[in-house]
Amino acid sequence: MRNISRLLLNKNIYRCVGTFRSFSGIPGEPNGPHIKTSIPGPRSKALLSELNEIQQTGSVQLFADYSNSIGNYLIDADGNILLDSFTQISSIPVGYNHPELLNVFKQENVLKAFINRPALGVFPGDYWPSLLKDVLLSISPGLPQVTTMMCGSCSNENAYKNLFIRYQKRARGGDIRFTQDEERSCMVNMPPGSPKLSLMSFHGAFHGRTFGALTTTHSKAIHKLDIPAFDWPIAPFPKYKYPLEENARENKAEDEKCLADVEELFEQYKKKGIPVAGIVVEPIQSEGGDNEASPEFFQGLQNIAKKNGAGLLIDEVQTGCGATGKMWCHEHFNLSSPPDIVTFSKKMQIGGYFHTDEMRPDHPYRVFNTWMGDPGKIFLLQAVIKVINQNNLLKNVQITGAKLKSGLHKLEQEYPNLINSVRGRGTFLAFNAPSPKLRDEILNSLKKKGVQSGGCGELAIRLRPALIFQEKHADIYLDRLAQVLQEI
């Protein structure tokens, strides 16, 4: 159990501070937030009413001025300047209008690769193999194969197919041929061709909203109501008590209880005639409330998956690309081998997944679609990775994250009735309010003070700043949050 607190507290990161040459920031950033109108302001409200004629707009918070937004600052259509700790649901890696990203499509060959969007599975561009190797595989968490897709949901949906395909290949003893009965029955959605198999997911999980992904999503009812779903098993995800170091024994027991339930569900669904082909899990449950689990929990999960011949898919759509201080959050877990599949999207610009050789289908066209991703997005990612490396942004995340986390710990001690359960890694941090109402009040008050932030789950406020969020931005965030808490 020592490991939980050691890793979750990120003590290691202080070691590198001494040798770190600090990232100098984005030229042209404002000095701080500046609020001129209510939010949404009059211009946003007019645009909202226009948009509402042609689509459901209940989720829209404001309209943004993306021509003038810069670095960590989102500027809205009314000229309000917001420090952005949410970054388009965690999908802006190096801030708004980063000069390197603005330059990408000024190279003619890159522009042409983007404009002439190919069917990558049939007619890839001559640039494609080296682009995949130099960009995507350069940041792979030890997995040799890569499949590109368009978004997070599609990445999970298709990766789920790899899990089933691998499981059935093993069930056939490695034989890659199909029976006539399988070929016939799958065409009408019936077994044995469309087998009764399942994937295990967790209560509180979010993996997307298309039919396969949605079956494994259990964060909010409104995402799932009225949509048919598969009968697949759902395991409990650990619920920790905070602060971690004071609750080590209970939290360890929680890990053990959850892992026992996972094992039990494997048996239960085998008996039910719907065996489990894979486990699907987030390294930190994000939409479900920033629920974290210990390295030991994930190590145990991997062992159970292996024992049952099931694949382990770690969904890094929200946690991936550096925000936890490592490129991939699961790299904090000291797994004995890489997961079978790691899915990505959001900050990566492009969707897709890394996987083992064993997860590669033997036949073409089993995981396939017209576009299979988008080369233009990988050229953008190439620039993102260049910026991360040149500016040592993983270290920046570690340093800024440490400052944010210790500031939040101070605030939870000062205002224990208003915030609690500070948690997370790097700048991928969260804390809880005691009630949904108070959580929303804090979010709204932060916005009035010029900080764009996001909620998740019932009680949590999550931090999802860009990788260029520096200590000076952390100071502003903490200062405004302190003001909000004081005023409540």
Number of residues that bind its own copies (CB under 8 A): 127
Q: Which is nearer to its own copies, 218 or 480 (CB)?
A: 218
Among residues 26, 197, 408, 430, the one that binds its own copies under rule CB under 8 A = 197
Q: Which is nearer to its own copies, 7 or 111 (CB)?
A: 111
Residues 41-70 contacting its own copies, CB under 8 A:
43, 47, 50-51, 53-67, 69
Residue 310's Cβ-side half-sphere holds a number of Cα atoms within 13 Å equal to 29
Which regions of 185-288 does DSSP assign to beta strands (E)?
198-202, 234-235, 276-281, 284-285
Q: Which is nearer to its own copies, 407 or 450 (CB)?
A: 450
Q: Which stretch binds its own copies (CB under 8 A): 10-18, 84-92, 320-328, 428-436?
A: 84-92
Please report, for residues 39, 61, 220, 279, 355, the alpha-carbon distance to residue 201 in angstroms, rounded to integers and kept in the order given.
38, 31, 14, 6, 19
Distance of alpha carbon 396 from alpha carbon 388, whole angstroms: 9
210 near its own copies, judged by CB under 8 A: yes
CA-based torsion, 445, 447, 451, 453: positive or negative: positive
Task: Decide if 433 contacts 59 (C-beta within 8 A).
Answer: no
Residues 227-246 contacting its own copies, CB under 8 A:
227-232, 234
Among residues 26, 35, 74, 466, the one that binds its own copies under rule CB under 8 A = 74
Q: 234-235 and 284-285: which strand pairing?
A: unpaired
173 near its own copies, judged by CB under 8 A: no
Would you call 298 a catalytic residue per the annotation? no
Both tokens of 436, joined, read 């949904």
Q: How far is the CB of 350 from its own copies (least distance, A)?
A: 11
122 near its own copies, judged by CB under 8 A: yes
Among residues 101, 327, 463, 468, the one that binds its own copies under rule CB under 8 A = 101
Task: Decide if 343 contacts 162 (C-beta within 8 A).
Answer: no
Please report, for residues 14, 103, 181, 387, 391, the alpha-carbon distance to residue 381 in angstroms, rounded to integers and kept in the order given.
29, 12, 44, 10, 15
Would you call 211 a catalytic residue per the annotation? no
Q: How far is the CB of 121 from its own copies (least distance, A)?
A: 5
102 near its own copies, judged by CB under 8 A: yes
Distance of alpha carbon 54 from alpha carbon 49, whole angstroms: 10
Distance of alpha carbon 41 from alpha carbon 62, whole angstroms: 8
Catalytic residue among 84, 255, 290, 315: 315
* H or E element in which residue 265 lies: helix 248-271
Catalytic residue among 206, 237, 344, 431: 206
Distance of alpha carbon 311 from alpha carbon 28, whole angstroms: 47
Distance of alpha carbon 324 from alpha carbon 332, whole angstroms: 9
Q: How far is the CB of 253 from its own copies (least distance, A)?
A: 24
Phi-psi label, residue 201: left if phi above 0, alpha if psi -120 to 50, beta otherwise: beta
Q: How far is the CB of 188 from its own copies (least distance, A)?
A: 6
Q: How far is the CB of 488 from its own copies (least distance, A)?
A: 25
Task: Decide if 462 contacts 19 (C-beta within 8 A).
Answer: no
Q: Which is nearer to its own copies, 96 or 237 (CB)?
A: 96
Residues 239-278 contacting its own copies, CB under 8 A:
none
Find tokens 């080296």 and name the residue.
Answer: 130
Catalytic residue among 326, 346, 377, 449: 346
Among residues 34, 45, 196, 472, the one that binds its own copies under rule CB under 8 A = 196
Distance of alpha carbon 137 from alpha carbon 385, whole angstroms: 12
Would you call 261 a catalytic residue per the annotation? no
Distance of alpha carbon 74 from alpha carbon 84, whole angstroms: 6
Among residues 8, 139, 146, 467, the one that binds its own copies under rule CB under 8 A = 146
Q: How far is the CB of 15 from its own copies (least distance, A)?
A: 34
Q: Which stretch binds its own copies (CB under 8 A): 290-298, 300-308, 366-374, 410-418?
A: 366-374
31 near its own copies, judged by CB under 8 A: no
Buried b (16+ CB within 10 A) or exposed e, 320-348: bbbbbbbbbbbbbbebeebbbbbbbbbbb
387 near its own copies, judged by CB under 8 A: no
Binding mask 323-362 for its own copies (x = CB under 8 A): ----------------------xx--x----------xxx
Q: How far is the CB of 335 from its own copies (least distance, A)?
A: 22
Q: How far is the CB of 272 from its own copies (least distance, A)?
A: 13
Q: Which is nearer to its own copies, 62 or 422 (CB)?
A: 62
3 near its own copies, judged by CB under 8 A: no
Q: In DSSP terms, which residues pair with 285 in a beta bridge?
A: 291
Angle in degrees, CA 267, 274, 299, rounded to 5: 50
Residues 433-462 contacting its own copies, CB under 8 A:
none
Would you call 206 a catalytic residue per the annotation? yes
176 near its own copies, judged by CB under 8 A: no
Q: Which residues are catalytic?
A: 206, 315, 346, 370
